[in-house]
Chain A
């Protein structure tokens, strides 16, 4: 088993100037250590779709690496995205899946089945390569080479589940954070500050 903190630290060491799209428990740990918050977005308030947003960014900016910190429960809900991603095969997309076997943010209920091998599933769908890591030393030693190679790659990380008794943070401010982050990232990637306010939070 790998801890969330260790996995995020190792990924952060190798991210370079990659865009990082996070969701669920990974977001909490990533925000504590990220060295480029201006290139980060946390997909909250849209179930399971972090990988699809990361895929869209990767297609739209093929010259920049895009990292997604996805989760097993989220990927099960958006499982078809493996085939969608494999179909367009963006070479700059690195899809991490934190496998903890539970739905953390709703209290720790188990997934329908704990035995899914997400790396094998990605490989079967046609990802360029896929890995599964159960210790941080192996992740640390291989990750620079993986991120230097062509995507799409799925990197499954076995982590200890952390049920969150407090549930999902749903204040007005927390929900406004995502649209603000998305606008800031578009400005950072395109140099254009033309996405004005819209929606219930801005």
Chain B
């Protein structure tokens, strides 16, 4: 994904040292008339909590946030707390979100842009296939994957 973004001439990638910078950098770009999105992992979204509060929700920033759904599997039973807490976390902040698990779900992405623009609020797109091989609950029960 990173290489695809780097190779796309219409997109400028701004690498940040820490996820908490991503939202304020996006806010600055939006103030300057650009069209930013952010792309971080769920664990990074937790790190970015105060920036999400103050500089996205607090200012009414229409920002689409692509969130890598690390640890996600469709059975909902995962040993990765980064996945366990993502949707409760988004509910807690009252951030609307769409889950994209396969190419068939890609039509949800423009819906996220439309919703962000309509509400002047951040909207998350959780990318559920960041890791193709998810851990089976049976393996967890046996302790085999820890």
Contacts and interface: CB of A to CB of B under 8 A. Distances in A.
B26 A56 contact: yes
Interface residues of A, number: 40
A14 interface: no
Contact of A57 (B31, B60, B121): B31
Interface string B11-45: 01011111011011111111111101000000000
A49 B24 CA distance: 6
Contacts of A56: 24-32, 36
Interface in A1-54: 41, 43, 45-47, 49, 52-54
Residues of A contacting B: mostly: helix
B17 A46 contact: no
A154 B57 CA distance: 30
A15 B119 CA distance: 36
Interface residues of B, number: 35
Contacts of A143: none
B57 A84 contact: no
A142 interface: no
A179 B21 contact: no
Contacts of A46: 24, 50-51, 53-55, 58
Interface of A: 41, 43, 45-47, 49, 52-61, 78, 80-81, 83-84, 87-88, 175, 178-179, 182, 185-186, 189-190, 192, 195-202
Given A60-B32, A179-B60, 12 more contacts: A49-B24, A53-B31, A56-B27, A57-B29, A59-B14, A61-B32, A61-B33, A182-B27, A189-B33, A199-B120, A199-B121, A200-B57
